[in-house]
């Protein structure tokens, strides 16, 4: 059972990351950019999206990444708006998936009759919702190359955006450095990390909203 749950967790993470990247691809394609289609990023075929090192990290640490979607913003009618919408599409889909899984879990609890089935189903759905909310919040951090930086950059002048994107070559070093510092501070303070704390607040808020809605059914 533990092995099955571990495999399901990997599948959930993989699905959520691929869905995130496909959301970027479809939004860019919808805005007139043929690049995602030409590079095969509109397909759900995981082989088109999986990054080898990201997959290895996913298997070992349950954290990974997919290949970034190549886009060409020159095709957008309104370039800045296009960049904003494409960057937002990934986190937005993850939040939608999170809400759908929370609603599903609430409905299972409300109408389920078999305790074991209800217990397993709600655990899996809850885990799936946390994965997607984590992906959304993490990607909204405004440090290049994360989506948050593209969203913020869409409000900048051309020169400011170019200067801002120069940080991208050091982006992952900065991100992992901040996450490491966050963990270190949490270790010495005996509290949760800032990211986990923020995740908990948002998750509890969504759960509360879903439960209030389900209570009317």
pLDDT over 90 at 56, yes or no: no
- Provide the β-strand partners of residue 66: 50
- Give the domain extent around 164: 2-214
Q: What is the pLDDT of residue 188?
A: 87
Q: What is the pLDDT of residue 63?
A: 66
pLDDT over 70 at 10, yes or no: yes
Q: What is the pLDDT of residue 61?
A: 63
Check: pTM over 0.95? Answer yes or no: no
Catalytic residue among 21, 38, 74, 116: 21
Q: Report how many domains make up the chain.
A: 1
Q: Is 21 a catalytic residue?
A: yes
pLDDT over 90 at 29, yes or no: yes
């Amino acid at each position: 059972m533990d092995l099955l749950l571990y495999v399901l967790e990997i599948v959930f993470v993989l699905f959520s990351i691929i869905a995130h990247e496909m959301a970027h691809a479809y939004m860019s394609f919808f805005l007139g950019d043929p690049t995602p289609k030409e590079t095969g990023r509109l397909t759900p075929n995981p082989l088109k999206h999986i990054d080898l090192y990201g997959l290895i990290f996913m298997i070992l640490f349950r954290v990974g990444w997919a290949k970034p979607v190549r886009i060409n913003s020159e095709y957008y009618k309104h370039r800045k708006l296009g960049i904003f919408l494409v960057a937002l599409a990934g986190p937005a889909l993850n939040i939608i998936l999170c809400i759908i899984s929370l609603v599903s879990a609430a409905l299972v609890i409300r109408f389920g009759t078999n305790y074991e089935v209800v217990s397993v189903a709600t655990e899996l759905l809850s885990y799936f919702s946390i994965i997607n909310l984590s992906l959304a919040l993490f990607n909204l951090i405004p440090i290049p190359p994360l989506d948050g930086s593209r969203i913020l950059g869409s409000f900048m002048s051309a020169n400011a955006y170019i200067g801002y994107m120069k940080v991208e070559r050091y982006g992952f070093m900065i991100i992992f450095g901040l996450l490491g510092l966050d963990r270190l501070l949490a270790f010495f303070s005996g509290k949760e990390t800032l990211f986990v704390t923020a995740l908990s607040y948002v998750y509890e808020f969504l759960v509360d909203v879903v439960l209030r809605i389900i209570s009317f059914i």
